[in-house]
Structure 1
Amino acid sequence: MDEQLTAFLSYLEREYQYSENTIAAYRNDLSQFQEYLGQGAAGPVEWPAISTEDIAGYLDYMKHKEQPYASSTIARKVAAIKSFFNYLNSQAITAENPTLEIDSPKVKKRLPQTLAFLDVERLLDAPAVNDSPKNLRDATLLNVLYETGMRVTEVVSLQLEDVDLEHAQLSSPTRQGDARDIPLEEETRALLTRYLAEGRPHLAKGSGEQALFLNHRGEKLTRQGLWLIIKGYARQAGLSADVTPHTLRHSFAVHRLGRGSKLEDIQRLLGHANISTTQIYAQMEAADEE
């Protein structure tokens, strides 16, 4: 990868604090564009020499290659290219921005998948709450996911210090760097209380790990581990839908709106920086009423 691409990725990480996965996606998309431009050419790509026609040719290539990219994939790659040339232009590496007249393909937005309220109840009831530390953990975990609408990364990142049982709330960092307080329903607070007293100590095995949710080895529960837990209980509950942690997050938002919560409150609870991201749930509720 050439110097400009490396500098751009460092800029994204430094200025926007993008995750490793996001940086990797930019790296992959721009490297593929670089490979396309370099076909048959000698030496590295000279970015100031790249024209609007070059980029348009790449779009045409992606649409008509032997196995064409989906419009959503093309739109993502175009967005990466636009961001890169905006950066080059801002650094005076290019005199013109060749992406200004490039339009991204229209992508039909698919509405997020949600569960009916009764299906959510079946899922939450799947781990029978008994004396098993694992079942206590799983019942608490599923309730926290649904009753707070938290992202899977946020849930597995919760620490013991983030739990405030007295005020019935969890504290979770946002992508903007601050923290948001998320209220807990009484049933979820009661489950957390019991899990912390009767379940987690057995899972911790004296490890000193401070993560709230632990695996059977006393280590922090991983994203993959959480995903597998949900999949297992979805099957046990007889749910045919492809249930994921985000399914519960989407269901939380739609069900809250259905119970009369304001869109701004849903935005705050979900940790969305822009309310336009949250508005899709209002569209879903309207579609259900038609």
Structure 2
Amino acid sequence: MSGAGGVEFFLEMQAAERAAAPNTLAAYQSDLESCAQSLLRVGQTLQTASADGLRDWLADLSAQGQSRRTVARRLSCIRQFYLFLLREGIRTDNPAEHLDSPQAEQSLPRFLSESEVLALLDACVAPPDASAAKKRRALVARAALELLYASGLRISELLVLPRQALAGEQRMLSVRGKGGRERLVPLSESARQAVQALVQVDRALNSPYLFPGREPTRAMTRQAFDRILHDVGLKAGLDPARLSPHVLRHSFATHLLAHGADLRALQMLLGHADIATTQIYTHVQTERLKQAVAQHHPLATSQSDLCDD
């Protein structure tokens, strides 16, 4: 197989069969190029690689200071690649089959308190004497933050929403997420009103997007949204370094669980393919259990005295 050891055909398969996003394909290509360069130093190629050659590559990544999460992600790509070569008959064995994944760091998601989210939303207001551009910017901020917090959308999902996403009296939002998977998420009335206010102001732009960029035929960029979030954070008295679209997504999930939401329902709302991804949010439930025991268990306040006895 030509095409740099099958890389080109592997990427084409990922795009065609798995609807991999452009960013995902670029990451896969980078991972495979990194592996190929490492193998070249020991006289191997991607098509002729041995298990030891791949282990040396993984060791190089760790020696370079790459995180265990990054190494695990890169290894996942390599495993998929060699399964592809095996399926296509390019190789009769799989050198990545018995490679050990690094133990991923267990990091808890960063999230805002409910009062901090409300402060952010309250900051999305322009003064009466503001220019039309600043008033529109406030509407954009309010609509975007309301949607992110009300639905748990990824920023990539938010920015490509069509202008008609909430036309009429719709109470559910259809979202196309990772891998082309579609899901429906319910919306709050305040989110719907914020979106409708923005659509009304933007009607003359005739953009296909709910959040158009400077050029109305294109969607707003991630960088442009980050600047809006930064400004709103300052106005709300929050450190912008703590803010990101994903922090709002984490806040959505954390607050739902804190108010008794079911983990399986949360998985569907977030669009996670595997519930194991959603289980990171159970730290909230664990903390609630600790607080419940501390506040209500009959021995909680006298435990130290019992230990002394």
Tell me how far 1:218 sits from its aligned partner: 4.1
Q: Report the counterpart of residue 15 of structure 1 in structure 2.
A: 17
Q: Report the counterpart of residue 112 of structure 1 in structure 2.
A: 109
- Alpha-carbon distance in 1 for matches of 2:161, 2:72: 34
Q: Report the counterpart of residue 238 of structure 1 in structure 2.
A: 237
Alignment of 1:73-152 (within 5 A): 73-128=70-125, 132-152=135-155
TM-score by length of 1: 0.87
- Alpha-carbon distance in 2 for matches of 1:100, 1:179: 32
- Alpha-carbon distance in 1 for matches of 2:181, 2:91: 36
Tell me how far 1:120 sits from its aligned partner: 0.7
Task: Tell me the secondary structure at the aligned position of residue 36 of structure 1.
Answer: helix
CA contact (8 A) 1:164 1:170 kept: no
- Alpha-carbon distance in 1 for matches of 2:161, 2:75: 35
CA contact (8 A) 2:18 2:179 kept: no
* Structure 1 portions without partners, runs of 5+: none
What percentage of aligned pairs have identical amino acids?
30
CA contact (8 A) 1:200 1:213 kept: no
Alignment of 1:190-229 (within 5 A): 190-197=193-200, 199-201=201-203, 206-215=204-213, 218=216, 220-229=219-228
Partner of residue 191 from structure 2, selected from 181, 185, 188? 188
Change (3 A) 1:238 1:172: same
Q: Report the counterpart of residue 260 of structure 1 in structure 2.
A: 260
Note the alpha carbon deviations across 1:150-180, whole angstroms, 9 max, x for none: 1111111111222144133322223354543
- Alpha-carbon distance in 2 for matches of 1:32, 1:178: 30
Q: Which moved more, 1:265-274 or 1:144-153?
A: 265-274
TM-score by length of 2: 0.82
Q: In angstroms, what is the RMSD of aligned CA positions? A: 2.3
CA contact (8 A) 1:111 1:284 kept: no
CA contact (8 A) 1:254 1:285 kept: no
Change (3 A) 1:39 1:189: same
Q: Which runs of 4+ in 1 moved over 6 A?
A: none
Tell me how far 1:70 sits from its aligned partner: 2.4
Partner of residue 160 from structure 1, selected from 160, 163, 170? 163
- Alpha-carbon distance in 2 for matches of 1:181, 1:56: 42
- Alpha-carbon distance in 2 for matches of 1:270, 1:262: 12
Tell me how far 1:56 sits from its aligned partner: 1.9
Q: Whose radius of gyration is greater, 1 or 2?
A: 2
Q: Which moved more, 1:70-79 or 1:96-105?
A: 70-79
CA contact (8 A) 1:146 1:251 kept: yes
Tell me how far 1:61 sits from its aligned partner: 2.9
Note the alpha carbon deviations across 1:103-123, whole angstroms, 9 max, x for none: 011111211110011111111
Change (3 A) 1:207 1:260: same
- Alpha-carbon distance in 2 for matches of 1:68, 1:167: 49
CA contact (8 A) 2:114 2:255 kept: yes
- Alpha-carbon distance in 2 for matches of 1:88, 1:178: 26
Change (3 A) 1:106 1:134: same
CA contact (8 A) 1:145 1:249 kept: yes
Q: Report the counterpart of residue 36 of structure 2 in structure 1.
A: 34
CA contact (8 A) 2:258 2:284 kept: no
Task: Tell me the secondary structure at the aligned position of residue 172 of structure 1.
Answer: strand
- Alpha-carbon distance in 2 for matches of 1:216, 1:46: 43
* Structure 2 portions without partners, runs of 5+: 129-134, 291-309
Tell me how far 1:58 sits from its aligned partner: 2.2
Tell me how far 1:289 sits from its aligned partner: 4.7
Tell me how far 1:99 sits from its aligned partner: 1.6
